[in-house]
């Protein structure tokens, strides 16, 4: 809608002036077209109307909000890179027994003294592809790229204050050249940041390259964005995070109602089952905890497709205790940008003390810690034979506190 000021001045309206003045007004118009009053009452209640302008930069075609229940798991003690902290972790889900299971695992880890967590690598890639007439031109172009990495790094600070180009790798396939541009992204998850920076780099490359491509694409599927890939399993996309703990035999027997030996036997069986099914990585259910945490904390939930790729490992120690580790090579989280500033997401981050700049590493540590808790709990349930009965009782309303394994 053109503002009155623009109309009076008889000039082209700005982008802001072309944006509808009221998101809520447009939402009402859409509901009038849909003619579904019952659905409107659920999705576009007073809170959704009042918050409409808040969501302007996060959604198009706004018609309201969907309420997903949020539960608290924990406390979970983590020995992270910034010291030892205990977290109460918000999880958004509609799956009965999920919060109870993660809370049980968190309680067991905390009772055992807490888990160690480290972010061991980080980097977010965008991988443009350039097509040429022959491999001769492709090789010449790749050589040019490799000789001008410093020039490409100089482009990035003009696009973002927080992103940095860490490395450049070229991959030649026939007459195609893929360019893996890997960035550090500060406290943001960084997908948009690396997109904007890569677009600027590609235009700089095209301006100076001695050989022109026939065509090119900003992303050509080599980055692993929102996909489970074997490439990133051994490498990194986002943050590569590892958590581990030694669970004393007494805690395994008393709290999980099984033995370390049986837990390791299950791990071997599950690992072979994963090989037979062709899964990328070996783990029980990383996606459950990550999706619930991502949804609660304003993360890009679609990134669970890559973030849930990883490895769980269980071993006996020399004195009969249980060593457990989880490796997550693709944790895509941030504490600034995206949906993290939306009211509900910010509240969930505030519960953990992780809202705003300076906390993305700690949030990645929480991801690994809660995943570790989930692996301990679910594998313990399979080993004790409690998996089906726990889901059955909790989905029918059994008291949550009795499900935590604290008694």
Q: Which residues are catalytic?
A: 95, 300, 391
Secondary structure letter of residue 55 according to DSSP = G
Residues 38/54, Cβ–Cβ less than 8 Å: no
Residue 107 CA to residue 101 CA, distance in Å, equals: 10
CA-to-CA dists, residue 235 to 123, 231, 249, 319, angstroms: 10, 6, 33, 33
Q: Which of 236, 242, 318 is nearest to 283 (CA)?
A: 242
How many residues can be counted in the chain? 407
Q: What is the DSSP letter of 106?
A: H
* DSSP letter for each residue of 203-260: HHHHHH-SS--SEEES--S-S-TTS--HHHHSS-SEEEEEEEEEE-HHHHHHHHSS-H
Taking alpha carbons only, the member of 317, 303, 142 closest to residue 223 is: 303
- Return d(Cα 2, Cα 235) in angstroms, integer: 50
Task: Give the DSSP letter string of 370-401.
Answer: HHHHHHHHHHHHHHHT-HHHHHHHHTTT--GG
Instruction: Name the 3-class secondary structure at 162.
Output: coil
State the DSSP H helix or E strand holding residue 139, giving kind and residue range, or none if neither.
helix 135-147
CB 375 within 8 A of CB 284: yes
Structure tokens at 168: 């450049």
* Beta carbons of 188 and 336 less than 8 angstroms apart: yes
Core vs surface per residue 72-88: b (16+ CB within 10 A) or e:
bbbbbbbbbeeeebebe
In whole angstroms, how far apart are CA 207 and each of 212, 213, 236, 361, 397? 9, 11, 31, 37, 64
In DSSP terms, 86 is beta-bridged to 77
């Amino acid at each position: 809608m053109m503002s009155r000021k623009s109309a009076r001045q008889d000039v082209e309206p700005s982008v802001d002036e072309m944006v509808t003045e009221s998101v809520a007004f447009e939402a009402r118009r859409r509901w009038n077209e849909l003619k579904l009053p019952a659905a409107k009452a659920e999705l576009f209640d007073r809170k959704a109307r009042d918050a409409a302008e808040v969501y302007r930069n996060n959604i198009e075609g706004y018609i309201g909000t969907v309420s997903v229940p949020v539960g608290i798991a924990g406390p979970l003690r983590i020995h992270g890179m910034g010291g030892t902290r205990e977290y109460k972790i918000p999880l958004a889900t509609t799956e009965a027994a999920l919060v109870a299971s993660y809370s049980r695992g968190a309680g067991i880890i905390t009772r055992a003294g807490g888990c160690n967590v480290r972010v061991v690598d980080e980097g977010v890639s965008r991988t443009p592809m350039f097509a040429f007439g022959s491999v001769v031109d492709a090789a010449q172009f790749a050589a040019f790229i490799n000789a001008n990495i410093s020039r490409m790094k100089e482009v990035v600070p003009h696009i973002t204050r927080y992103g940095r180009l860490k490395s450049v790798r070229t991959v030649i396939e026939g007459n195609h050249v893929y360019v893996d541009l890997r960035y550090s992204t500060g406290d943001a998850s960084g997908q948009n940041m690396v997109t904007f920076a890569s677009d600027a780099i590609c235009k700089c490359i095209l301006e100076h390259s001695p050989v022109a491509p026939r065509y090119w694409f900003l992303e050509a599927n080599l980055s692993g964005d929102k996909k489970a890939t074997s490439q990133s399993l051994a490498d990194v996309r986002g943050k590569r995070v590892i958590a581990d703990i030694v669970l004393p035999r007494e805690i395994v027997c008393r709290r999980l109602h099984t033995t370390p030996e049986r837990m390791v036997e299950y791990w071997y069986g599950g690992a072979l089952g994963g090989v037979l099914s062709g899964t990328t990585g070996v783990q029980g259910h990383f996606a459950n905890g990550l999706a619930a945490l991502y949804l609660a904390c304003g993360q890009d939930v679609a990134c669970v497709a890559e973030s849930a790729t990883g490895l769980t490992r269980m071993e006996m120690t020399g004195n009969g205790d249980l060593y457990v580790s989880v490796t997550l090579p693709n944790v895509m989280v941030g504490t600034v940008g995206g949906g993290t500033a939306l009211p509900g997401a910010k509240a969930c981050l505030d519960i953990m003390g992780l809202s705003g700049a300076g906390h993305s590493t700690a949030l990645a540590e929480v991801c690994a810690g809660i995943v570790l808790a989930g692996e301990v709990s679910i594998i313990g349930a399979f080993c004790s034979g409690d998996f089906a009965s726990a889901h059955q009782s909790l989905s029918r309303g059994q008291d949550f506190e009795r499900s935590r394994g604290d008694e």
